[in-house]
Structure 1
Amino acid sequence: MPAERPHDHAAEWAVRAPAQLAVLLFVLLAGVALFPLALVLAPLGFAAVLAGLLFGAVRWPRLFDTLFGVGLPLRGWVVASAFVASALVGTLVFVERYTVEAAAFALVVAVCLPWVVVLVIDGRLRAAATRPMRLSVWPVVVFTLLVVTGGLVFGWRTPEPFDFAIFGGFIVVACLVLVVFPMTIAQAHSRRESDEDTLADTPFVSVLTPAYNESSYIGDCIQSVLASDYPTDRLEVIVVDDGSTDDTYTEAASHRNERVSVFTRANGGKHAALNFGLSCARGEVIVGVDADSTLHPTALQRAVARLQSDSRIGAVAGTVVIDNPQGIVGGVQALEYVLGINTLRRAFSYLGTVMVVPGCLGVFRREALEGVGGYDADTVTEDFDLTVRLIKAGWRVELTESIVYTEAPFSLGDLLNQRLRWTRGNIQTLLKHRDVFTSPQYGFLHRFAFPLSALSLLFVPFASLLVTVTLVSAIFGGSLFDVILAAGYFLLVLAVVSAMALDLSNHDFRLLAYVPFHIFGYRQFLDFVILRTMASLLQGTGMRWESVTRARQQESSTSTTSQPQAVVDD
C-alpha cells in the first residue's frame, strides 16, 4: 500500500490549524496568572504589528516597496555615532548612573569620537566614515517598535535581569504565535487547491549526487531515485565520486546503466563535484540529492510539479525527515527538524524566501542555477549561499511536500562537528551577502529572512547565556520558586508549539518527550557551538570540513584501495 501522500496531510492540517492556534494563544494569555499583564500583552502587540506589516507586504507589494524601499541618506560617521551613543547610554542605564547631564555628555562624545578617530587614522577607515550610504527604513521601524514595546512594559525604567529574560521569552513566543504559525497556515492552505501533484509536462530531470566516502549509503540513494514515480525515460542520475578513499565508487558503479552515470575525480570539495555534475547534465531541471539520503517515491514528481507551476520559482526545497530518531541525540534532532527547520521553512515559503535549499533534496531550474554561476567555493555551506544568490537574483524559493529521509549524527561528537560546519558556513554566508541588510530591493530577504538568521546567530547565544546566568543568580538569590514557575510555563508553551508542528508534519507525538531538552541542555549546546565558531573565525582559523561518522560505516573497515583520479564513465 502506498504511503500517505504528505501533501494531503498538510492540507488537512490547514483546516484544523486555526483551532490549534487559538489553544496556543489561550495558553500564552494564561501567563497573566504568573506575570504582569503588560509583560504578556505588549509582546503580542509587537508581534501583531510585525505580522500586519509582513502580510500587508504580501497583499500590497508595490505599496510596501514604496514605503519601505526608501533608504535614509547617511554617512558612515553618523552610523558610528549612533552606535557609540547607544553603547554609552546603555552603559549608563546598566550601571544605574543615568542622568540628563550624563546622557548629554555621552551624545557629545558619540558625535565627536568617530571624527577624532578618522582624523587620526587615515586610509580605509576615513573612507568608510565619509562614504555616503543609505540605511533602510525597515530595520529602523522594527527596532523602534521593539524599544517602544520594552518601554511600555518596564515603564521606561531599567528592568531587572530576570524580568528582562522573561520579556525576551514572550517576544519569541509571541512572534511564533502571530507571525510564524499564521504564515505556516497560509502556506499550507495555499497548497490545498494547487495542482502540485499534477505535472503539466515532464521536463527532463538530471539528479546530481556528489559522494565522498559514502559506501553503504550511495547504493540505497541511487535505488530510491530509480524507484521514483517520475517517468523513467525523462530521468538521469549522475553520481560524482569526489576522490573517496573507501568503496563508494565501486558501490555506485555497480548501479551503472543507461540511466545512471558514475564519475570519479580528484577530491575538490562538494561544490566542485556538483559543478562537474552540472556540466555533464542534460536536464532542464537539476536535482541535488545527498548520497546519504533517500527519496520518498513521490518526491521527484511533487517537487518538479511545484517548480513548473509558477515561472517565478527558481528552486524548491524538499521536506527533510530524520530516519533515525533513536536516543536523546537522535530525538532532539528529529524534533528540531520538525519545529525549528521545516516549520520555519514553511513560513519562509509563504514569502518565497526559503533560506536554504538543502543538499538532501533541492530542485532547480537550470536557467536559474546557471544564471547565478552554479555553486561557489567560498563558504562551507554552499547550499545556503546558492539559495541566497537565487533570491537576490529575483527568483522565488519555496518549500515542497516532497519528503527526503536522511540520517542524523548519532553521537554528540559527530553532532558537534556537523553543527560547527553549519554555523561557520552560515556566518560566512551572512558576511558574504551583508549588503542584504541595507538593501530594500531584496524584499523579504531583507525584511525578514536575513535579520532572523542574523539574530539567531549573533544575538540568541548571548541572550541565552544571559538568561542562563540570570536564572542561576535568581535561584541562588532565593527566587527558586519563581524560576520553577517561569520555566514550567515556557515549557508548557513550547510543548503546545511542538505538538502543532508535529501534527503538521505527521510525526510521532512521542517526540514531545524531548521538548525539555530544547530548553535545558540542547539550547545551551547550540549556543556553545555558535560561540566556539565565532571564536575560531576571529582567530582566523581556516575552513575545513568536519567529518561525521555514519552509523552503517562505524564498524566497517575502511578500504585502502586507491580510486582512479581521471574522470571516467561507462
Structure 2
Amino acid sequence: MQPISSSDRALGDILVARRVLTLGQLDEAIALSEAWQVGLGNAILSRNWAEPAVYYQAVAYHYDLKFVDLIREPPDLDLVLEADADIYARKLMIPWKRSDGRLLIATAAPGPDTVLFARERWGTDVTFVVATKFDIIWAVQAAFDEALSARAIYELAELSPELSAQRVFTPAQVIFGYALLSLTLLGLALSPVTTLIAINVAMSVFYLGNFVFKGVLVLFGGARAADETIAIEARALSDEELPVFTVLVPMYKEPAMLPMLAQALRELDYPLGKLDIKLVLEASDHETIEVAAKLGLEGIFEIIRVPPSHPQTKPKACNFALQFARGEFLVIYDAEDRPEPDQLRKVVATFRKSSANTACLQCSLSYFNFSENWLTHMFTLDYGLWFDQMLPGLDRLNIPIPLGGTSNHFKIEVLRELHGWDPFNVTEDADLGVRLTQKGYRVGIVDSTTFEEASCHAGNWIRQRSRWMKGYMQTFLVHTRRPLRFMRMIGPLGFLGFVFFIGGTVLSGLLNPLFWLLYIAWMIAAVSGLEAVFPEPLLFLSLFNLLAGNGALMFLNMLAPIRRGWLDLIPYSLTAFGYWAILSIATYRGLWQLLRNPFYWEKTHHGVSKHVVRELAQAREAVA
C-alpha cells in the first residue's frame, strides 16, 4: 500500500477549507485512496461526497488552472479529430481552444502524467484547463456521435464481412437451400415413399444424436465440483491489486429499474473507485435519462447516450459504449440483474490462473422469481440445465460456448480486437462466443451466479425467446458460410458441438410439432399408408426417440435444480412437453422475423414480476 501523494493531501485540505468535505470524510477518503490505490478524487466521487462540478473547481484551484464548463463552451471542432476520440474518452482530456498560439487542453486529471502525454501528443505549446470527466465524455459524444455510431454499427461488417450477420443469406447459402428444396420436391414426385423414409431416417438420427449429445454434456458438466479455491483466492485479493473494471448496463425505457440496479452494483464486493460503470441509454429515451440524472448517482456512474440509428439493438449500444470504456476487463449486466457480490473478484482470480488465451469468462444465470408461476418454474429449469450442466460440459470438451446475454466478462483489448459485438445479430452474445473460439481464444466458466427476472407472462416470454431463436439462426448461418474452414479452425468435435448446440436447438423447435403430429397420426392409424414410411427398424428408432429420448430430456431437466438445492422444482420437469410446445411457437416466430425483419430487436419488458413490483413499491415508500 502506497501512501497518498502530497498533492492529493493538499487538494483534500482545500476541499475541507471550502466545506465540501468534513475532516472525517477526508480521513476516510485518504484511507480508501491508499487501500484501493486510486486517486483521492476517485475515492471522493465514489462516495458521492461532492458535486462533480464543485470537486473539479477545487482541482482547478489546486493546480492554479482555469475551470471550464464544456456544455456551455464546447471544444472547437476544428481542433478535435475523430481518430483520437477513444483517446479523449479514455485519457479524459480533449483539445479545447487556441489562445495566443497555444493549444488549451481540457482535462479531468491534471498532473505529471497528463502533461507528459499531452506534450508527446500535441507538442510543448500546450496549456491546461480543468473540466469534469462527465463534461469531457459528453463533449466527445457531441462532437463525434455520428462517426462513433457508424463505427459501432459497421466496423465488424466492413473489416470482417464474413463474420457479420448484416447479410442474412449468402448467394451460396441461397443456392444450397434452393437445390436442397428442389431435390426434395423431385424425390417426392418421383419416389415419395423412399424420399419420406430418407427424410425420416435423417431426422430420427438427428434426434438421437441430439439426445446423446446433451446427455454427454450433462455427464461432463454435471460432474463438475464447485471450485472452492477460486472463492478463497478471490477473497485473498487485496483491493490495491484489483484492476479497473468497466460495467456496461444497456437499458431502454426502464427508468423504474434504475434505483434497484444502482443498489445491486453498489453491493458488489469491489473497490467502488475502480468501477467504471456506463449506463448505456438511447438518446431518444428521455425519461430514463432524466431519472438517471435526478438520482444523484455516485461518480462511478456515467451516462452514455447512444445516437438514433438502425439497427436499434443492444449490441450496437454496447459497441458505442465500448469506445468510452477505461477498464482492463468489461462485463455486461442487464437492468434487472443481481450479480453475487464477489463475482468480479472471482472473475479476476480466474483470469489470473487461466491460460493466456482465455478472453472471456461466463457466469451462470438464474432467476430470483423462479417460484412465481409455471412459466418461471420451467424457465428456471431450462436455465439450470443450460448454465449449470451443459455450459460446463462444453467447457470441458473444448466446444465453442455460446455466451449468455449478461454476466460475460471480457478482456477488453481482445473485445476491441474482434470489433466488439455484431449489431446485426440479435443474439450477439452467442455469436461472439463462437467468434472468440474461431479466433483461437478460450471462453471459460466461473462458478458465480447472476440472478435475473424470469419472464412470467407468456407473451413476454415468447417475444424474448423468438429473438433468441432468430439470433441462433443468424449465428448458424454466419458461421457455416465456410463450413470446412470453420471446422478446421475449431476442430471436428467443436464443429459437431456447434451444429448440435446452435443448429440443433433451432431445428428441434421447428421439427417437434411436425413429428408430434406424425406420431399422433400413426398412433390413431386413421391415416392410411404410414406403415410404408415407417419400416420396422425406423419405427423402433422413432418410438425410441419419442419415448426414451424425450423421457431422457425430462430426466435431465430433473437434474438441473439439484445443484442449487431447488428440489421442489423437480416435479415440474414432467410438464416439459408444454414448455417445448410454446418454444416451438417462439421458434417459428423467430423464423418468420428472420425472413421479414431480421434485425428487429424485440424488447423484453422488465419489472413486471410481482417480486419486482413489490420491491419497487417499497423503494418508493422509503423515498417518500
Bin of the TM-score, shorter chain as denominator length: 0.5 to 0.7
> 491, 498, 502: which is aligned to 2:557?
498
Give 1:263 deviation, angstroms. Answer: 3.4
Distance in 2 (CA, whole Å) between partners of 1:166 and 1:429 is 24
- Counterpart position of 1:369: 415
Q: Which amino acid aligns with 1:461?
A: G
Give 1:507 deviation, angstroms. Answer: 4.2
Over alpha carbons, which structure has the higher Rg?
A: 2
Structure 1 stretches of 5 or more lacking a match? 1-74, 99-156, 557-570
Verify the 8 A CA contact 1:214 1:292 in the aligned structure 2. no
- Counterpart position of 1:530: 587
Verify the 8 A CA contact 2:369 2:453 in the aligned structure 1. yes
- Counterpart position of 2:273: 233
Give 1:532 deviation, angstroms. Answer: 3.1
> 292, 295, 299: which is aligned to 1:252?
292
User: CA-to-partner distance for each residue in 1:362-401, whole Å, 9 max, x for gaps?
Assistant: 1100121011112232222222232222222211012211
Distance in 2 (CA, whole Å) between partners of 1:433 and 1:486 is 29
Distance in 2 (CA, whole Å) between partners of 1:395 and 1:164 is 34
- Counterpart position of 2:315: 271
Verify the 8 A CA contact 1:410 1:551 in the aligned structure 2. no
Distance in 2 (CA, whole Å) between partners of 1:287 and 1:418 is 21
- Counterpart position of 1:39: none
Q: Which amino acid aligns with 2:594?
A: L
Say which is worse superposed, 490-499 or 424-433, in terms of deviation: 490-499
User: CA-to-partner distance for each residue in 1:19-60, whole Å, 9 max, x for gaps?
Assistant: xxxxxxxxxxxxxxxxxxxxxxxxxxxxxxxxxxxxxxxxxx
Which of the pair has the greater relative contact order for Cα pairs under 8 Å at 6+ separation? Answer: 1
- Counterpart position of 2:242: 202
Distance in 2 (CA, whole Å) between partners of 1:231 and 1:344 is 33
User: CA-to-partner distance for each residue in 1:468-506, whole Å, 9 max, x for gaps?
Assistant: 022211331289xx99999776665344322322223x1
Q: Which amino acid aligns with 2:265?
A: V
C-alpha change, 1:471 and 1:278, in structure 2 (3 Å) is same
C-alpha change, 1:246 and 1:169, in structure 2 (3 Å) is same
User: Is 1:287 equivalent to 2:287 in the alignment?
Assistant: no
Q: After superposition, where does 1:72-471 map in structure 2 within 5 Å?
A: 95-96=192-193, 170-177=208-215, 179-185=216-222, 188-189=224-225, 191=227, 197-198=233-234, 201-243=241-283, 245=285, 247-253=287-293, 254-268=295-309, 269=312, 270-310=314-354, 311-325=356-370, 326-435=372-481, 437-439=483-485, 440-444=487-491, 446-471=494-519
Distance in 1 (CA, whole Å) between partners of 2:178 and 2:549 is 38
- Counterpart position of 1:67: none
C-alpha change, 1:250 and 1:449, in structure 2 (3 Å) is farther
Verify the 8 A CA contact 1:196 1:309 in the aligned structure 2. no
**Structure 1 vs Structure 2: percent identity of aligned residues?**
21
C-alpha change, 1:545 and 1:158, in structure 2 (3 Å) is closer
Give 1:317 deviation, angstroms. Answer: 1.1
Aligned length: 415
| DSSP 3-state at the match of 2:592 | helix
C-alpha change, 1:405 and 1:533, in structure 2 (3 Å) is same
Give 1:347 deviation, angstroms. Answer: 1.5
- Counterpart position of 2:566: 508
User: Is 1:475 equivalent to 2:523 in the alignment?
Assistant: yes
- Counterpart position of 1:545: 601
Verify the 8 A CA contact 1:338 1:502 in the aligned structure 2. yes
Give 1:406 deviation, angstroms. Answer: 0.9
Distance in 2 (CA, whole Å) between partners of 1:514 and 1:484 is 24
| DSSP 3-state at the match of 1:364 | strand
| DSSP 3-state at the match of 1:363 | strand
User: CA-to-partner distance for each residue in 1:493-542, whole Å, 9 max, x for gaps?
Assistant: 344322322223x1412222322332x2221222232233323433x435
Structure 2 stretches of 5 or more lacking a match? 1-171, 528-539, 614-624
Give 1:81 deviation, angstroms. Answer: 13
C-alpha change, 1:196 and 1:315, in structure 2 (3 Å) is farther
Q: Which amino acid aligns with 1:329?
A: L
Distance in 1 (CA, whole Å) between partners of 2:269 and 2:341 is 6
Q: After superposition, where does 1:38-77 map in structure 2 within 5 Å?
A: none
Give 1:320 deviation, angstroms. Answer: 0.4
Give 1:348 deviation, angstroms. Answer: 1.6
Verify the 8 A CA contact 2:222 2:388 in the aligned structure 1. no
C-alpha change, 1:352 and 1:234, in structure 2 (3 Å) is farther
Distance in 2 (CA, whole Å) between partners of 1:442 and 1:474 is 44
Verify the 8 A CA contact 1:437 1:446 in the aligned structure 2. no
Give 1:411 deviation, angstroms. Answer: 1.1
C-alpha change, 1:316 and 1:521, in structure 2 (3 Å) is same
| DSSP 3-state at the match of 2:440 | coil
User: CA-to-partner distance for each residue in 1:243-289, whole Å, 9 max, x for gaps?
Assistant: 36464224433152232223334344323332232222211111111
C-alpha change, 1:474 and 1:553, in structure 2 (3 Å) is closer
TM-score (norm 1): 0.63
Distance in 2 (CA, whole Å) between partners of 1:456 and 1:464 is 11
C-alpha change, 1:376 and 1:90, in structure 2 (3 Å) is same
- Counterpart position of 2:111: none
Give 1:321 deviation, angstroms. Answer: 0.6
Q: Which amino acid aligns with 2:323?
A: S
User: CA-to-partner distance for each residue in 1:277-323, whole Å, 9 max, x for gaps?
Assistant: 22222111111111221211121111222223222210111210112
TM-score (norm 2): 0.58
Give 1:203 deviation, angstroms. Answer: 1.7
Distance in 1 (CA, whole Å) between partners of 2:560 and 2:321 is 36
Distance in 2 (CA, whole Å) between partners of 1:168 and 1:376 is 30
Give 1:184 deviation, angstroms. Answer: 0.7
Q: Which amino acid aligns with 1:298?
A: D
Verify the 8 A CA contact 2:247 2:333 in the aligned structure 1. yes
Distance in 2 (CA, whole Å) between partners of 1:432 and 1:168 is 21
Q: Which amino acid aligns with 1:184?
A: G
C-alpha change, 1:484 and 1:514, in structure 2 (3 Å) is farther
